[in-house]
């Protein structure tokens, strides 16, 4: 099977490409220590990432591989699902080798090297996320064979891409619980980083597997709903779940929109929907 990998061609990046990286990198490294979870910030700092240049994947892998057995491989853009899952199942994280243009800093159609490397690789330094994403890759291959990819993809979306986690942090009234970012889709976005944690608009709801697998998501705008883990360790239990009985239950019952809040939800914050209402309605 063609695995879609290509050489990164690091020497081909232009001065403009590196300058775009620098802008994105400086914004996020200033912002995330206050908004991202401890594990993300530690991973970000332990990797050979700097404002000066787009990272060389070979240098990244020298640090990443000994830590969790993962490596970053270059691909030209989005790859077919089966190829993607096969990489993940083998602890290879496919990263777009291109970078967005300077006039696209906050908008991306396809994941680029900033999203894929800066957003994802810090969490791949964490053993729990390292195991979770590998097992997700295996689950993805199976879900594809049995026609359950839509439901499974919602798990990835609401964890690896847009997950929040609670963390104890020092506050004015002593140690308090705060919501922190671990999802790459948020962590690589300047505007969504603040939105996800601080905006009154979106819901923040306790993570529940079946609830998440019944919830559609938006790919074209900020999320209207984020799901919150109590601890990153919860991902390990999630990865070990036998999905077959869950898929069975999902064959009947409702599907939810991101705007829904259920009586059974563990609600951290009920959003007021103000941002979503200010946007054109788009089918979720
Ligand atoms: Fe991603």
What is the secondary structure of 112-165 as a DSSP string? -HIIIIIIIHHHHTSHHHHHHHHHHHHHHHHHHHHT-HHHHHHHHIIIIIT-EE
225 CA → ligand 1 middle, Å? 18
186 CA → ligand 1 middle, Å? 9
The yes-or-no verdict on residue 1 having pLDDT over 80 is no
Q: Convert the pLDDT of each residue in 127-163 to its tens digit.
A: 999 999 999 999 999 999 999 999 999 999 999 999 9
94 CA → ligand 1 middle, Å? 10
156 CA → ligand 1 middle, Å? 9
Residue 275 contacts residue 199 (beta carbons within 8 Å): yes
**77 conformational bin, left if phi > 0, alpha if psi -120 to 50, beta if neither:** left
Q: Convert the pLDDT of each residue in 94-126 to its tens digit.
A: 999 999 999 999 878 889 999 999 999 999 999
Helix (H, G, I), strand (E, B) or coil at 93: strand
Helix (H, G, I), strand (E, B) or coil at 74: strand
172 CA → ligand 1 middle, Å? 35
Helix (H, G, I), strand (E, B) or coil at 75: strand
Percent of the chain with pLDDT over 90: 92
pLDDT of residue 239: 84
The yes-or-no verdict on residue 233 having pLDDT over 60 is yes
Specify the DSSP element, H or E, that contains 245: helix 243-250
182 CA → ligand 1 middle, Å? 12
**Nearest in space to 244 (alpha carbons), one of 132, 145, 128:** 145
269 CA → ligand 1 middle, Å? 25
User: What's the whole-number mean pLDDT along residues 271-278?
Assistant: 94
101 CA → ligand 1 middle, Å? 18
Output the six-digit token pair for 165. Answer: 């986690």
259 CA → ligand 1 middle, Å? 23
Instruction: Please identify which residue in the block is written with the tokens 């777009």.
Output: 96
């Amino acid at each position: 099977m063609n695995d879609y990998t290509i050489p990164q061609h690091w020497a081909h990046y232009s001065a403009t490409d590196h300058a775009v990286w620098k802008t994105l990198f400086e914004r996020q490294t200033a912002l995330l220590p206050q908004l991202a979870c401890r594990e993300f910030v530690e991973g970000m700092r332990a990797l050979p990432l700097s404002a000066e240049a787009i990272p060389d994947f070979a240098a990244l892998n020298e640090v990443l591989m000994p830590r969790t057995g993962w490596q970053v491989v270059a691909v030209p853009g989005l790859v077919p699902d089966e190829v993607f899952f096969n990489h993940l199942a083998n602890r290879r994280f496919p990263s777009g080798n291109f970078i967005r243009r300077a006039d696209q800093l906050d908008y991306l159609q396809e994941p680029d090297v900033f999203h894929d490397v800066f957003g994802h690789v810090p969490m791949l330094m964490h053993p729990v996320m390292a195991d979770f994403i590998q097992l997700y890759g295996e689950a993805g291959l199976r879900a594809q064979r049995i026609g359950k990819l839509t439901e499974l993809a919602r798990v990835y979306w609401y964890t690896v891409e847009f997950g929040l986690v609670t963390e104890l942090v020092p506050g004015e009234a002593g140690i308090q619980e705060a919501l922190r970012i671990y999802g790459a889709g948020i962590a690589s976005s300047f505007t969504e980083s603040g939105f996800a944690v601080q905006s009154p608009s979106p819901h923040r709801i306790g993570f529940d597997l079946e609830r998440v697998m019944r919830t559609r998501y938006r790919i074209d705008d900020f999320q209207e709903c984020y799901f919150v883990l109590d601890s990153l360790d919860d991902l390990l239990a999630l990865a070990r779940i036998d999905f077959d009985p869950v898929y069975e239950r999902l064959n009947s019952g409702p599907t939810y929109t991101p705007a829904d809040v259920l009586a059974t939800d563990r609600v951290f914050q009920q959003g007021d929907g103000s941002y979503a209402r200010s946007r054109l309605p788009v089918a979720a």
